[in-house]
């Protein structure tokens, strides 16, 4: 018996008679709507009557030039294998296997797009085999050849094996081809979907990672951007800051007054994971001992005269944030012991209390003293010193990084001009020379104050001239040896030569006391010196 309306005789071939032994009732009109398995693996949704499908036109599925799909056929009857192979070999690469075990071995080896299995196999049932196939080739589409009499058991089989379709025996070759074509379309769709989904997931992950990275970068830039400096010394400072920002490492910032210790401490906090928590700064030199202790560790009521109620210390206030201990070198020995305890055990004890409390704070400390020497000479606890300087950032004095002076000067000029509504746009060369040459014992703070003062007194000048600078800055004697002087980054050769000329002329005049003798010393005619000074905007 052949498949109903489709069996008009035209499409019969050798496979049909041989399949007769497997023949069972056909489900010509049966439309088994099966619930989706909702599992991994190929789509299977509707099991439709095969005859309905048979009416569609049949074409090969693989576009010319494309890799042909591989199909695995499992049946213990050589005749059936042969006839299916004949039906499909023109359009696909066909692999065959006689048992489920062999079939699984093929699946392991080859990238199979479609598995067609007979239900009646020697060792395991077709459904069992197809179920095992899911683990090996999850995306392969599974079709069952069946001669089942009982609709319910077929439905169950289809569900259990998460089978895409069944083909009832006996079959017509064009039915088989049509089913295979449809199945492979599903396979392609599923593969495409899977690829798209995985590409999408990857893109998403990448995007998320990039976003996080960018956000961190922007935040860090923002925190770091306030710190001006392009000198190698400052580049090294930035490098270390970047490395420690994400950690909880205790940092000791050393440097003369006004070198930016405060600025750096804040930048580390605001570019790290604790940035949404508090940054609490305490100047350890600013308070008498007891008050400092109570400030940092808190106190209970009555702990000392005037302690009218309990008070939380800064270490508790800064929970999960950062405590900045400024001028830590000025602490007295008792305080040093207490600080050691916080660093070692993360514990504090409020004044007047017998209980200790755990705190989670990052500690950044700063000092303008030479703490190592203080420790060596027993003025500062050595163990505390080593606990504090897990990472040490040394901020170089401004005179050791003069190439940063033009950058800083312009930065402060722009800020002050904006704030005070001045038109000032820059510095005359002579003024800049003076700024670069000055000693700046008060470091960046002194430079900042100098520029602010100049801007405040500038009226409506467009550039800061030498005469507008404070007297002591104006009188700065440039470094004697221009070879050791570092030049501002980005300066042109002509600019550097001009700066050197200015410096040599000024030195010669200062030392000889007259232009004539200066010209002699420089080995140029007096008129040339005059002209040169004019061009270099040097005051007579
Ligand atoms: N690299 C820098 N870029 C921009 N501004 C800076 C820089 N370094 C310092 N400053 C500015 O200079 C002033 C002094 O800096 P800061 O207070 O951080 O110095 P400090 O080392 O903590 O000084 P002190 O030892 O006196 O406490 C601040 O106004 C700060 O903004
Ligand atoms: Mg400071």
Give the integer Cα–Cα distance in Å for 443 and 289.
29
Residue-range domain boundaries for the chain: 4-194, 232-396, 400-535
Mean pLDDT of the chain: 81
In angstroms, what is the span from residue 366 Cα to ligand 1's centroid? 12
Which protein residues have their CB within 5 A of the ion that is ligand 2?
Answer: 261-262
Give the integer Cα–Cα distance in Å for 98 and 119.
12
CA 260 to ligand 1: nearest atom: 18
Q: Tokens 């030195």 belong to which residue?
A: 507
Give the integer Cα–Cα distance in Å for 109 and 112.
9
Under the banding of pLDDT at 50, 70 and 90, the label for residue 93 is very high
DSSP symbol at 395: P
In this structure, the strands spanning 46-47 and 32-33 are antiparallel
Is 263 near ligand 1, meaning CB less than 6 Å away? yes
Under the banding of pLDDT at 50, 70 and 90, the label for residue 430 is confident
Give the integer Cα–Cα distance in Å for 332 and 11.
104
Under the banding of pLDDT at 50, 70 and 90, the label for residue 160 is low
In angstroms, what is the span from residue 480 Cα to ligand 1's centroid? 28
Residue pLDDT, tens place only, 392-406: 999 999 999 998 998
Which ligand is in closest contact with the Cα of 396?
1
CATH topology of domain 400-535: Helicase, Ruva Protein; domain 3 (1.10.8)
What residues pair up with 347 in beta bridges, in sequence order? 358
Domains 4-194 and 400-535 share a fold: no
Tokens of 314: 């800064």
Is 254 near ligand 1, meaning CB less than 6 Å away? no
Give the integer Cα–Cα distance in Å for 449 and 409.
10
Give the integer Cα–Cα distance in Å for 144 and 120.
10
Contact 313, 350 (CB under 8 A): yes
What residues pair up with 367 in beta bridges, in sequence order? 254
Three-class DSSP category at 481: coil
Which ligand is in closest contact with the Cα of 451?
1
Task: Supply the pTM of this predicted model.
Answer: 0.54
- What pLDDT is stored for residue 331 in this prediction? 94
- What pLDDT is stored for residue 523 in this prediction? 86
- Measured in Å, how far apart are the chain's first and last C-alpha atoms? 121
Specify the CATH number of the domain 4-194.
3.40.50.2300
Q: Tokens 């997931």 belong to which residue?
A: 201
In angstroms, what is the span from residue 485 Cα to ligand 1's centroid? 23
Is 448 near ligand 1, meaning CB less than 6 Å away? yes
* Nearest protein Cα to ligand 1, atom 30: 260
Is 229 near ligand 1, meaning CB less than 6 Å away? yes
Q: How many CB atoms lie within 10 A of CB 83?
A: 23
Q: Which CATH architecture has domain 232-396?
A: 3-Layer(aba) Sandwich (3.40)
Q: Is the pLDDT of residue 450 over 70?
A: yes
């Amino acid at each position: 018996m052949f498949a109903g309306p489709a069996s008009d005789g035209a499409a019969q071939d050798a496979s049909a008679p041989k399949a007769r032994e497997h023949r069972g009732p056909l489900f010509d009109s049966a439309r088994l709507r099966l619930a989706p398995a909702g599992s991994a693996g190929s789509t299977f949704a509707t099991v439709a009557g095969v005859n309905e499908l048979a009416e569609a036109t049949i074409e090969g599925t693989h576009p010319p030039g494309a890799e042909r799909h591989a199909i695995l056929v499992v049946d213990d009857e050589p005749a059936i294998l042969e006839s299916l192979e004949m039906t499909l070999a023109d359009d696909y690469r066909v692999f065959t296997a006689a048992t489920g075990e062999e079939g699984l071995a093929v699946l392991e080896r080859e990238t199979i797009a479609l598995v067609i299995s007979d239900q009646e196999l020697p060792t395991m049932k077709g459904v069992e085999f197809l179920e095992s196939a899911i683990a090996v080739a999850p995306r392969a589409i599974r079709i069952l050849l069946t001669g089942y009499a009982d609709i319910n058991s077929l439905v169950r089989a289809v569900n259990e094996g998460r089978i895409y379709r069944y083909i009832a025996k006996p079959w017509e070759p064009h039915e088989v081809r049509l089913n295979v074509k449809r199945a492979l379309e599903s396979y392609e769709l599923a593969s495409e979907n899977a690829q798209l989904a995985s590409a999408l997931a990857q893109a998403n992950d990448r995007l998320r990672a990039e976003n996080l990275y960018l956000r961190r970068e922007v935040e860090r830039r923002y925190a770091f951007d306030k710190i001006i400096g392009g000198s190698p010394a400052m580049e090294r400072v930035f490098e270390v800051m970047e490395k420690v920002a994400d950690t909880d490492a205790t940092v000791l910032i050393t440097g003369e007054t006004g070198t930016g210790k405060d600025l750096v401490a804040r930048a580390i906090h605001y570019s790290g994971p604790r940035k949404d928590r508090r940054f609490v700064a305490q100047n350890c030199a600013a308070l008498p001992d007891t008050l400092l202790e109570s400030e940092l560790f808190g106190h209970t009521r009555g702990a000392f005269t005037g302690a009218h109620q309990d008070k939380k210390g800064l270490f508790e206030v800064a929970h999960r944030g950062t405590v900045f201990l400024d001028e830590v070198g000025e602490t007295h020995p008792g305080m040093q012991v207490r600080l050691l305890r916080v660093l070692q055990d993360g514990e504090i004890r409020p004044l007047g209390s017998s209980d200790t409390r755990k705190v989670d704070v990052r500690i950044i400390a700063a000092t303008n003293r030479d703490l190592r020497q203080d420790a060596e000479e027993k003025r500062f606890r050595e163990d505390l010193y080593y606990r504090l300087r897990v990472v040490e950032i040394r901020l170089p004095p401004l005179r050791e990084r003069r190439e940063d002076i033009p950058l800083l000067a312009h930065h402060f000029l722009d800020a002050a001009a904006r704030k005070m509504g001045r038109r000032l746009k820059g510095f005359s060369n002579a003024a800049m020379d003076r700024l670069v040459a000055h000693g700046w014992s008060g470091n960046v703070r002194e430079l900042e104050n100098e520029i602010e003062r100049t801007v405040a007194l500038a009226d409506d000048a467009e550039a800061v001239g030498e005469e507008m600078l404070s007297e002591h800055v104006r009188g700065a004697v440039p470094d004697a040896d221009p070879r050791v002087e570092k030049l501002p980054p980005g300066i042109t050769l002509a600019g550097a030569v001009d700066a050197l000329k200015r410096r040599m002329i000024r030195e010669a005049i200062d030392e000889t006391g007259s232009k004539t003798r200066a010209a002699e010393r420089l080995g140029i005619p007096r008129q040339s010196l005059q002209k040169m000074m004019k061009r270099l905007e040097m005051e007579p």
